[in-house]
Amino acid sequence: MKKIIFSISILFSAFILKAQTETLLTLRPATNQIISKHIYGHFSEHLGRCIYDGFWVDENSTIPNKGRIRLDIVEALKKIKIPNLRWPGGCFADEYHWRDGIGPRNLRPKMVNTNWGGITEDNSFGTHEFLELCEMLQTEPYIAGNVGSGTVEEMAKWVEYLNFDGVSPMTAIRKQNGREQPWKVSFWGVGNESWGCGGNMTAQYYSDEYRRYATYARDYTGAPLKRIAAGANSADYGWTETCMKNIGTRMWGLTLHHYTIPTGKWNAKGSATNFDEGQYFSTMQNCLKMEELVTKHSTIMDKYDPAKKVALVVDEWGIWTDVEPGTNPGFLYQQNSLRDALIAGTTLNIFNNHSDRVKMANLAQTVNVLQALILTEKDKMILTPTYHVFDLFKVHQDAKYLPIAFVSPDYVSGDKKIPALNVSASQDDKGTIHISLVNLDPSKKINLNTVLEGLNWKTVTGQILTSAKINDVNSFSDPSKIHIVKFNGAKKSGNSLSVELPSQSVVVLELKN
């Protein structure tokens, strides 16, 4: 009898241990909800070395380029299928006057970039150059118009210059400058951060201004605008409430800006590379705040727009640290570590899971600024860990969202805890299923058992991004330290999927029928 009781005790203990160490995921068939490709957008401001000495090289440069646009950057971005590119800012947008950036370059007036470093810009990179870049990237332009220091007429004529295909003063100037056909730019931001650097406006004042500016930003034949209003700073829910109440569905989208600050303090954000696990944990706490922000802003939007006609556009997001030692503090140049890759994967999973309302997002920024995809040093170029996450996650673009249910194990630090696991899933038009998994715990693996209800599949393959340390980086001396490799930790058993997810890792699985 004692032996039977002892055996039962062992079996019960084993069951409890398995329950504690194995997480059950349940995937259900695809809905009609699409994960918009525009969630995977990017942002390039006239800031630091993003445009100048990033995309745009000196006219005498020996770096391979086409019309001064750097070709290795173009090819790298085409590989990850960037769907849109936001320009010229950011704070810079509301001091930028577009006519200064057209016509012969030697005749363009110079300007002072008062927001970022106080440097003098020669305006050699302007409207034509940006739209040529977008054509080379095969991506959609997203232009932010000047509401802060501009005029209604200035914005209206910029739209006409870009999109009108008839006879007018603006089209005549466009043709003189070498562009016969209109570009038909669809995405149009009406101001940026109007609560701050874009004019220090109140929500009521801005929403009235939006209605006025948007009225004269015309839809021309074959070029209807997707007008995007300047939305809230992080948890300013009152701003969203006012804009939804006063603007409603007169806008295509309403923005949200939120940056992950490691320390939570703007005056001492923390290092991009020199951090311990305590600061790593607080960084991930701040990253996961995006889930709460998207949920609460969406709830307010639902009240005024239950049909979800207005998109939530998170057009500035990413980690913001102290600049690299010895660099211009106004240039916002920072390294990019495995921690940043985990932030990127986590944030994109959040957006995917809220794709009923989040239709567009833009990582800040593309080259040499903040959480960059690419860093350059003269003729050298490196792809950051964040770049590789976008390469992994590109399979979700315009795929059908798959609902997923699970209870995450905890990642514990002292008396605090956060979910260790985040996941999103989709099914493409060929029936292939993709599951993206992020384990934030830097020391513990997660064992997963996945049930796919009503989903047919025969094979599973995977790719993983990880490294030995959470603060590992790709450097100019070791550009491939962190890179995508094959993942062998997923196995099929009947119609169930078992996964052993390593610590501090991003994994994307592909299930084919």
Question: Using one digit for the tens of pLDDT, what is the confidence trace for 6-29?
Answer: 333 333 333 333 334 689 999 999
Task: Please identify which of the residues 160, 209, 316, 510 carries the catalytic annotation.
Answer: 316
Instruction: Note whether 306 and 342 are within 8 A (CB).
Output: no
Name which of 119, 124, 122, 133 is nearest 48 in CA terms: 119
Lowest-pLDDT choice from 120-129, 425-434, 491-500: 491-500
What is the C-alpha separation between 367 and 54, in angstroms, rounded? 6
Q: What is the pLDDT of residue 21?
A: 62
**Domain limits, CATH 2.60.40.1180, in the chain:** 22-31+402-512
The alpha carbon of residue 36 and the mean position of all alpha carbons in its chain are separated, in whole angstroms, by: 12
Q: Can you tell me the mean pLDDT for 128-136?
A: 98
* Positions of E strands within 138-179: 140-145
- Nearest CA to 463 out of 424, 502, 495, 497 is that of 502
Residues of each domain in the chain carrying CATH 3.20.20.80: 36-398
- CA angle in degrees (0–180, nearest 5) for 269-146-185: 105
CATH of the domain spanning 22-31+402-512:
2.60.40.1180
Residue range 36-398 forms a domain whose CATH class is alpha beta
Its pTM stands at 0.94
Residue position matching structure tokens 């998207």: 294
**pLDDT tens digits, 72-82:** 999 999 999 99
Is residue 193 annotated as part of the catalytic site, yes or no? Answer: yes
Adjacent-strand bridge partners of 43: 86, 364
The pLDDT assigned to 16 comes to 37
Q: Which of 121, 193, 209, 510 does the annotation list as catalytic?
A: 193
Q: pLDDT tens digit string along 193-206? A: 999 999 999 999 99
